[in-house]
Amino acid sequence: MRYDVIKIDDDTFVVKVIDKKAHNNTQRDYFTEIATLIITRDDFNLENNIGSASVVRNRMPTTFNGHVLVKCQQHRDSLD
């Protein structure tokens, strides 16, 4: 499984999830896009209550760039 991250702008990432498959009768491999994840800063802010004045935290949320990795890992975990 491969995750290709494409930065559209500072607030948007597109992640292409690609799986490598082997052909039955040949030695050639081919790649199949199995999902596309769109990760936005607005979704990150909503999930982490960023900007809310009434939030008390016992830990700081990850950065937006780190959130992209978290979303990739969550997708990977959902495939098992």
Structural domain boundaries enclosing 73: 2-79
The one-character DSSP state at 57 is -
* Mean predicted confidence (pLDDT) in 23-41: 84
The answer, as to whether pTM is greater than 0.75, is yes
Q: How many domains does the chain have?
A: 1
Task: Tell me the chain's radius of gyration from C-alpha atoms.
Answer: 17
**Is 40's pLDDT higher than 90?**
yes
- With pLDDT > 70 as the criterion, what percentage of the chain qualifies? 86
* Mean predicted confidence (pLDDT) in 16-26: 79
State the sign of the Cα–Cα–Cα–Cα dihedral 36, 48, 70, 63.
positive
